[in-house]
Amino acid sequence: MREITYKDAVREAMCEEMRRDENVYFMGEDIGAYCGAFGVSKGMLEEFGPERILEPPISETAFMGAGVGSAITGMRPIVELMFSDFMAVCYDQIINQAAKMHFMFAGKVSVPMVIRTASGGGTGAAAQHSQSLEQMYCHVPGLKVVVPSTAYDAKGLLKASIRDNNTVVFLEQKRLYKNKGLVPEEDYTIPLGVADIKREGKDVSIITYGRMVQMSLEVAEKLEKEGISVEVLDLRTLSPLDTEAIIATAKKTRRVVVVHEAVQFGGFGGEVVSTIADSDAFYYLDAPIKRVGALYCPVPFNPVLEANTFPTPERIEAAVRETL
């Protein structure tokens, strides 16, 4: 397999699906000649032309609504929100329209749309461009929510999302775009709702997703030198959630640390904890479950303050040691 970047894997997935299905098109701000805010769509305008690479005016309300409308009439749009924070501008189109139409029309209407967006912090983009808002999407029945952590997962999960007949919110944490990984050239998909054990372990489980997977693996590698065996479970898809994998790893190691970049208070980690607490895995635990998330404050612009707002390897390591 070749080694390519996370953002190249995302572009490959979109290009391959657009070649495979003429109903797939891509729409978003500055995705054409400018190639998007992070250079993900480089070369796509030249290959597919302006009829399938659409650059609407700067109105998320308008073009998200257009995406919903085209999806219910047979198209399969990939709609890019430049930053996940901008979901607030088109909340009605996503939450009240895309998520509910299949249910409200008794299954006669589907909304096969992928909402791609850059999520998370670590780039100095400050309070309005650095949030992790996946929990808000997960709370809405009718939406699928995907957060890939590697180039391999990004390509396979995005191809599966584009082929899915539901609306999928595909969150790409922007600090991962330049990360490289092994990605096969042949066609493949990764089913939504299936977690992945990124590292086997027996003493404690870190359950995480997105950018925190790499940080958790760093901690696991460090602790291995002390004889501490850490298992790292990458959820990959938050909705649908692989509850069986969560319960299995909790039973296996009997100690659990849940890590995410989003604000800890009210974050998705609470859902993971309750999944364990509501199952027989609770009786296997030898220590209380620990959570590690971002501080409950807007993301600062100052790089030192920003770095200390989010989980760090030191905070993750401290939580793991406390469970032991």
Residue type present at position 30: D
**Three-state SS for 1?**
coil
Which element (helix H / strand E) includes 6?
Answer: helix 6-20
In whole angstroms, what is the distance from residue 234 CA to residue 290 CA? 17
Query: What residues have CB less than 8 Å from 154, skipping those under 6 apart?
Result: 6, 9, 10, 13, 148, 172, 176
**Three-state SS for 265?**
coil
Cβ burial, residue 276 (10 Å; 0-12/13-18/19+) = buried
Number of C-beta neighbours around residue 182 at 10 A: 11
Cα torsion 278, 280, 281, 283 to 10°: value is: 100
Report whether the peptide linkage leading into residue 240 is cis, meaning its omega lies within 30 degrees of zero: yes
Respond yes or no: is residue 129 known to be catalytic.
Answer: yes
Q: Are 116 and 44 in contact (CB under 8 A)?
A: no
Active-site residue, from 102, 129, 139, 260: 129
Q: Are 232 and 201 in contact (CB under 8 A)?
A: yes
Q: Are 118 and 84 in contact (CB under 8 A)?
A: yes
Q: What share of the chain is helix, strand, coil (3-state, %, to 5)?
A: 40, 20, 40
Sort strands 204-208 and 196-199 into parallel, antiparallel or unpaired. Answer: unpaired
* Phi, psi of 68, rounded to the nearest 5 degrees: -60, -45
- Find, among 188, 191, 218, the residue nearest to 206 by Cα: 218
| Residues carrying an active site annotation | 129
